[in-house]
C-alpha cells in the first residue's frame, strides 16, 4: 500500500493511501511503516486514517505491533480521523480502549 508521510514538531505522520488494510496488504504495510520509523528515527507516530474504509484483524494486528514497538522505545502511536467502518471494528474488539484516538491530525499532534 502506498503511504504518505510528513514530519512536524518531531512527530512522524503516516497516511495510508489505500482504502483497505486487510490480510492481503497488511504485511507489506507494516514493512513500509517500520522502514519509515527506522529511516526517520522518530518514535512519536500518528496514523492519519482519513482514507481508510476497511480494516480487518490483520490490519489491527499491524497497528498493535507498531504500538508495542514504539512503546518499548519510549515512543507513542496515536490514531487520527477514523471513518465509521474503522470505528465499528475498533469497538468490536475494544481497541478504542488501547489506542489514543483523535478526530484529526492537529489534535493528535497537540496531544504529544
Partner 1 sequence: MNIKQQSNKNTVLREAVKNLIISLSGMTEEKSASFSSDLSNLQSVRRFVQEICKKAPGDRERLAIELQLAINEIFCNIVKYGYHARENEEIVIKYQLENDGVYVTLWDRGNSFRPPEIKSPDVIGGQERGFGLYIIHEIADEITYVPKDSESQGEGWNCTRIFKRYFFEED
Cβ(28)–Cβ(1) under 8 Å? yes
Q: Does 72 bind partner 1 (CB under 8 A)?
A: no
Contact set for partner 1, span 20-59 (CB under 8 A): 20, 22-24, 54, 56-58
Q: Does 100 bind partner 1 (CB under 8 A)?
A: no
- Binds partner 1 (CB under 8 A): choice among 7, 92, 104, 106: 92
The grid coordinates of residue 53 equal: 474504509
Q: Does 70 bind partner 1 (CB under 8 A)?
A: no
Least distance (Å) between residue 93 CB and partner 1: 5
Amino acid at each position: 500500500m502506498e503511504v504518505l508521510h510528513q514530519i512536524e514538531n518531531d512527530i512522524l505522520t503516516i497516511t495510508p493511501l489505500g482504502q483497505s488494510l486487510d490480510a492481503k496488504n497488511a504485511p507489506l504495510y507494516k514493512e513500509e511503516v517500520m522502514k519509515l520509523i527506522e529511516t526517520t528515527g522518530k518514535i512519536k507516530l500518528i496514523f492519519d486514517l482519513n482514507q481508510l474504509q476497511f480494516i480487518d484483524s490483520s490490519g489491527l494486528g499491524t497497528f498493535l505491533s507498531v504500538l508495542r514497538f514504539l512503546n518499548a522505545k519510549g515512543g507513542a502511536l496515536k490514531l487520527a480521523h477514523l471513518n465509521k467502518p474503522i470505528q465499528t471494528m475498533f469497538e468490536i474488539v475494544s481497541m478504542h480502549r488501547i489506542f489514543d484516538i483523535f478526530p484529526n491530525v492537529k489534535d493528535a499532534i497537540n496531544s504529544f
